[in-house]
Structure 1
Amino acid sequence: MPTSLRYVFRRLVQALPMAFAIVLLNFLLLKLTPGDLADVIAGESGSATPEFMENLRRLYGLDIPVHLQFVNYIQGILHFDLGYSFRQGMPVGELILERLPATILLSLTAILVALVIGVLLGVVAARSRGSLLDEAISVVSTMGFATPLFWVGLMLIVLFSIELRWLPSAGMVTVGADYRGLWDEWLDIGRHLVLPAVTLSLFFLSIYVRITRSAMLEVYGLDFVRTARAKGLTEARVVIRHVLRNALLPIVTVTGLQLGAIFGGTVVVETVFGWPGLGRLAQEAVFSRDVNLLLGIFLCSSFIVIVVNLAVDLLYAALDPRVEVRQ
């Protein structure tokens, strides 16, 4: 077996105890919070007798000890069963698979926009260090980092949806639209994607600008850059082949961390724009005390973080020959 495959297998095996700890921690935290699904249903009904509450807890399996509930949940996971969402009336696995593509589309689009524009602005700021352009880029990036996502989203809705009427304000597709082909459907999804993707990307874009600028300035002072210039290479070749490539390593690290942490941002953005993804589904599960659904979403998010971190380690070795993947 090749070294890279052995490394991937070893990392996946090491991730099993981590995944178990994450499931246990999430389960305990949700159980420690006051109230449960029966309390929510009783509150919605306006009144409930002790017998009614007891029947509800028996129906939803809340009357057995917590440790037995956890054992049952782990057994379900081992059989690829994440439980049943009584509020949504569907298996949790089907709900997650139904909403996951929308969240992946939003997250990857936002990260791609932030990465491309952030790196370009960071390179421009580093090349024009100390100039008015450098100061302007720094000010704009600081504003993007400090501005709350929900406020940015609301302002974009006011400007582009209400005032200019250029883009839709909510949803993923136009309700009742009669598409003539696949291209029309993709175009409609793209129009709905613009505002939430731009909103979500602003925060990460600001981080990429600052990291790229700092990494570029650090690499500029190294000996191999002066050697490349002494060989007569053009400045563009020096920047792209030597400076930027070495400056990408911290950017790759931050990208891996952001892909793992972007779920927190999607909760806010999906709620503001009515985007039908996992973030909005998690918010609905919190308010309805749908523990099975929340645990399934947390487990899915944790798995994505583990896979992304593994991919980042492999990408490190591809970008920098000094980094080796060992068994």
Structure 2
Amino acid sequence: MPKYLARRLVYGAVLMLCVIVLNFFLIHAAPGDAIGALVAESGGGDPAVVAQMRASYGLDQPLYVQLYKYLGRVATGDFGRSFHYDAPVLGVIMERLPSTLLLTISALFVAVIVGTALGVIAALRPRGWRNYFVTLISLLGYATPVFWLGMIVLIVFADKFGLFPAYGLTSVPPPETAWALAVDVLHHLALPVFTLSILFLASYSRISRASTLDVLGSDYIRTARAKGLLESVVVLKHALRNAALPIVTLAGLQLGHAFSGAVLVEVVFSLPGIGPLLYDSIIRHDYPVMLGVLFGAAFTVVIANIITDLVYRILDPRIRLR
């Protein structure tokens, strides 16, 4: 296990290096200029001042020199300074990160639990009405764009009926007690979590249905039923553990997808997370912030895949033997 983990970490480091280099060149190849955006916000500027600003940020140097210096800073944990906020990129991102993590983890948790339960229910009666209902929900989830669903949910439940807040993570001013603050945050997160979880619930329900159907036809399941075990014991104790392997894989692979979906949901619901930060950074050509956010997303995917492999080995000992 230690050798396997060390090998995966080395592969992950090489992959992160490739991601950084590719993102760096793609962002700098895009039309527009960071200093030009800053000057445009201030209503114009003297060419000498603009040239001085380019020199102070190192943008007057060749691109390969900028990349070399950027890689050296990243190796020490320094992602540069934001052009717009004039603050360390890491601090700007860490300030917005809790909101995005709360939304992403909550939505994935709801999607995994509800989607797996729906898939198992559909697999137990593959020709019943519950199976067709789950299939319909899955197709709708696949076909619905997350930003469109967010706007519809916002209009119906926040604007028309006023059941949930339309924007933000807390009320203004926020509640004073910890319990009231937690309830207020959950109230604000209800619509964003629902919107983002629908996107992944469809995948988990289909995967869990197919996996459960496959496991329920195995010999050891028939043996367990022949012993007279309760159906709930057969499904929950014997079938679900093996059926969960594809779900674990999907959860690890979809973490990056969940991050991109969270970006759109945060913009729709005006949450103070990474989404609006990335959107504003793209508009303002704030290269360091864009590179920092993309680095964080890639790092999250790499770590999630390593953790997924380790969980796989825990769930299925045969993987360890091979």
2:35 matches 1:41: no
State the partner residue of 1:99. 96
Paired letter, 1:138? T
* Contact 2:38-2:84 at 8 Å conserved across structures: no
Match of 2:182 in 1: 186
In 1: Cα distance, 2:79 partner to 2:119 partner: 43
Counterpart AA for 1:185: L
Normalising to structure 1: TM-score of the pair? Answer: 0.94
Residues of 2 paired with 1:250 and 1:170: CA distance? 35
State the AA in 2 paired with 1:248: A
2:257 equivalent among 261, 270, 273: 261
Query: Structure 2 counterpart of 1:205, which letter?
Result: L
- Which residue, out of 306, 311, 314, partners 1:315? 311
Pairing 1:157–2:157 present: no
2:172 alignment counterpart: 175
One-letter amino acid of the counterpart of residue 236, structure 1: S
Choose from 9, 14, 37 the match for 1:12.
Answer: 9
Give, in angstroms, the shift of residue 325 of structure 1: 7.4
**In the aligned structure 2, how far is the partner of 1:45 from the partner of 1:93?**
25
Q: CA deviation at 1:47?
A: 4.5
> What CA distance in whole angstroms lies between the structure 2 residues aligned with 1:52 and 1:34?
22
**Equivalent pair of 1:82/1:296 in contact (CA under 8 Å):** yes
Cα deviation, residue 57, structure 1: 1.7
| Contact in 2 for aligned 1:11/1:310 (Cα 8 Å) | yes
Kept in 1, the 8 Å contact 2:225–2:234? The answer is yes
Aligned to 2:63: 66
User: Aligned equivalents of 1:126 and 1:307: distance in 2?
Assistant: 32
- Partner Cα distance (2:210, 2:79) in 1: 44
Amino acid at match of 2:273: G
Same amino acid, percent of matched pairs? 40
State how 1:117-266 maps to structure 2 within 5 Å: 117-177=114-174, 179-266=175-262
Q: How does 1:79-90 map to 2 (within 5 A)?
A: 79-90=76-87
The TM-score, its normalising length taken from structure 2, stands at 0.95
Moved more, 283-292 or 134-143: 134-143
Which residue number in structure 1 is paired with residue 297 of structure 2?
301
**1: distance between equivalents of 2:182 and 2:6?**
37
Displacement after TM superposition at 1:48 (Å): 5.0
Query: Match of 2:132, SS?
Result: helix
Q: Which residue of 2 aligns with 1:112?
A: 109
After TM superposition, where is structure 1 displaced by more than 6 Å over at least 4 residues in a row? Answer: none
Indicate if the aligned counterparts of 1:106 and 1:193 stay in contact, CA closer than 8 A. yes
Q: CA deviation at 1:287?
A: 0.6
* Runs of at least 5 residues in structure 2 that lack an aligned partner in the other structure: none
Q: What is the CA distance between 1:80 and its match in structure 2?
A: 1.4
Partner residue, 2:288: 292
Contact 1:270-1:280 within 8 A present in 2 as well: yes
Distance of 1:260 and 1:267 partners within structure 2: 11
Partner SS state of residue 168, structure 1 = coil
1:29 aligns with 2:26: yes
Task: Give CA-to-partner distance per residue, 1:93-123, whole Å, 9 cap, x none.
Answer: 1011111111111000000000111011111
AA partner of residue 74 (structure 1): L
SS at match of 2:318: coil
Paired AA for residue 201 in structure 1: S
- DSSP-derived class of the 1:232 partner: coil
Aligned with 2:254: secondary structure?
helix
Q: Which amino acid aligns with 1:155?
A: I
Q: What is residue 74 of structure 2 aligned with on the other side?
A: 77
CA distance in 2, matches of 1:142, 1:173: 33
- Is contact 1:314–1:325 with CA below 8 Å preserved after alignment? no
- CA drift at 1:146: 0.6
For the residues of structure 2 that align with 1:160 and 1:154, how far apart are their CA atoms? Answer: 10
The AA in structure 2 aligned to 1:9 is A
Distance 1:91 1:232 in 2: 64
Distance 1:175 1:194 in 2: 17
Report the secondary structure of 1:84's partner residue.
coil
Residue 163 (structure 1) shift: 2.0
State the distance in 2 between where 1:187 and 1:221 align. 44
Structure 2 letter corresponding to 1:31: H
Q: Any unmatched runs of 5+ in structure 1?
A: none
Contact 1:317 1:325 in 2 (8 A): no
User: 1:37, 1:288 within 8 Å by CA — same for their partners in 2?
Assistant: yes
- 2:141/2:202 contact within 8 Å kept: yes
